[in-house]
Structure 1
Amino acid sequence: MRDRHVTVAGLGVSGISAARALRRMGAQVTVVDGGDSDAHRARAVELGAQDVTVRLADAENLPAGTDLIVTSPGWKPQSPLFTAAGAAGVPVWGDVELAWRLRAARSAPPAPWLAVTGTNGKTTTVQMLASILGAAGLRAPAVGNIGTPLIDVVLAEEPPDVLAVELSSYQLHWAPSLRAHSAAVLNLAPDHLDWHGSMEAYAADKGRVYEGNQVACVYNCADPATEELVRRADVEEGCRAVGFTLGTPGPSELGVVDGILVDRAFVENRREQAQELAEVSDVTPAAPHNIANALAAAALARAYGVPPAAVRDGLRAFRPDAHRIAHVADIDGVAYVDDSKATNTHATQASLAAYDSIVWIAGGLAKGATFDELVRESAPRLRGAVLIGADRHLIHEALTRHAPDVPVVDLARTDTGAMAAAVHEAARLAGHGDTVLMAPACASMDMFVNYNARGDAFTDAVRALAAAGAHDVE
Structure 2
Amino acid sequence: MRISQLEGKRVALWGWGREGRAAFHVLQQRLPSLPLTLFCPESEAAAARAETAGALQLETDVTAAALSRFDVVVKSPGISPYGEAARHAAAAGTRFIGGTSLWFGEHADDDGVVRGSVCVTGTKGKSTTTSLLAHLLRAAGHRTGLAGNIGLPLLEVLDPQSAPHYWALELSSYQTADVAHSGARPDVAIVLNIFPEHLDWHGSEQRYVDDKLSLVNEGHPRIAVLNAADPQLRALQLPQSQIVWFNQPEGWHMVGEVVHRGAQAVFDTSNTPLPGRHNRGNLCAVLAAIEALGLDAVALAPAVQGFRPLPNRLQRLGERDGIVWINDSISTTPHATLAALDCFAGQRIALLVGGHDRGVDWQDFAEHMRDNAPVEIVTMGNNGPRIHALLQPLADQGRFGLHAATDLPQAVELARAALGAQGGVVLLSPGAPSFGAYRDYVARGRHFAELAGFDPEAISAIPGLGIA
**Fold-level similarity (TM above 0.5):** yes
Instruction: Write the mapping of 1:49-68 to structure 2, written as runs, cut at 5 A.
Output: 52-60=55-63, 61-62=65-66, 66-68=70-72
Match in the other structure for 2:100: 96
- TM-score, normalised by the number of residues in structure 1: 0.83
Match in the other structure for 1:270: none
Structure 1 position 255 matched with structure 2 position 253: yes
CA distance in 1, matches of 2:401, 2:344: 19
Q: Which has the higher contact order (CA 8 A, sep 6+)?
A: 2
Q: 1:367 aligns with which of 352, 355, 358?
A: 358
CA distance in 1, matches of 2:440, 2:414: 18
CA distance in 2, matches of 1:6, 1:410: 51
Question: How many residues align structurally?
Answer: 440
Match in the other structure for 1:406: 399
Deviation at 1:125, TM superposition (A): 1.0
Deviation at 1:332, TM superposition (A): 6.9
Instruction: Write the mapping of 1:66-465 to structure 2, written as runs, cut at 5 A.
Output: 66-79=70-83, 82-104=86-108, 111-175=115-179, 176=181, 177-210=183-216, 211-228=218-235, 230-231=236-237, 233-236=238-241, 239-244=242-247, 249-251=248-250, 253-257=251-255, 259-264=257-262, 274=264, 276=266, 278-281=267-270, 283-308=272-297, 311-330=300-319, 335-357=324-346, 358-390=349-381, 391-402=383-394, 404-414=397-407, 417-428=409-420, 431=422, 434-445=424-435, 447-463=437-453
Q: 1:422 to 1:296 in 2, by over 3 A?
A: farther
Q: 1:315 to 1:397 in 2, by over 3 A?
A: same
Q: Whose Rg is larger?
A: 1
Q: 1:139 to 1:40 in 2, by over 3 A?
A: farther
Is the contact between residue 212 and residue 234 of structure 1 (CA under 8 Å) also seen in structure 2?
no
Question: 1:243 is matched by which residue type in structure 2?
Answer: F
Secondary structure at the residue paired with 1:69? strand
CA distance in 1, matches of 2:185, 2:220: 6
Is the contact between residue 259 and residue 279 of structure 1 (CA under 8 Å) also seen in structure 2?
yes
Secondary structure at the residue paired with 1:353? helix
Deviation at 1:339, TM superposition (A): 1.6
Is the contact between residue 246 and residue 284 of structure 2 (CA under 8 Å) also seen in structure 1?
no
CA distance in 2, matches of 1:450, 1:6: 28
CA distance in 1, matches of 2:123, 2:357: 16
Question: 1:241 is matched by which residue type in structure 2?
Answer: V
CA distance in 2, matches of 1:102, 1:396: 49
Is the contact between residue 217 and residue 240 of structure 1 (CA under 8 Å) also seen in structure 2?
yes
Deviation at 1:63, TM superposition (A): 6.4
Deviation at 1:275, TM superposition (A): 6.3
Is the contact between residue 350 and residue 418 of structure 2 (CA under 8 Å) also seen in structure 1?
yes
Deviation at 1:90, TM superposition (A): 3.4
Deviation at 1:282, TM superposition (A): 5.3
CA distance in 2, matches of 1:182, 1:80: 34
Is the contact between residue 119 and residue 189 of structure 1 (CA under 8 Å) also seen in structure 2?
yes
Is the contact between residue 329 and residue 463 of structure 1 (CA under 8 Å) also seen in structure 2?
no
Which ranges of structure 1 fall in alignment gaps of 5 or more residues?
Answer: 265-272, 465-474
CA deviation string 1:372-417 (max 9, x = no partner): 2112124323242242423333222222334532232424443x74
- TM-score, normalised by the number of residues in structure 2: 0.84
Deviation at 1:313, TM superposition (A): 4.7
CA distance in 2, matches of 1:406, 1:296: 37
Q: 1:4 aligns with which of 9, 34, 48?
A: 9
CA distance in 1, matches of 2:410, 2:150: 30
Secondary structure at the residue paired with 1:174? helix
Which ranges of structure 2 fall in alignment gaps of 5 or more residues?
Answer: 455-468
Is the contact between residue 118 and residue 168 of structure 2 (CA under 8 Å) also seen in structure 1?
yes
Q: What is the identity percentage for the equivalent residue pairs of Structure 1 and Structure 2?
A: 27
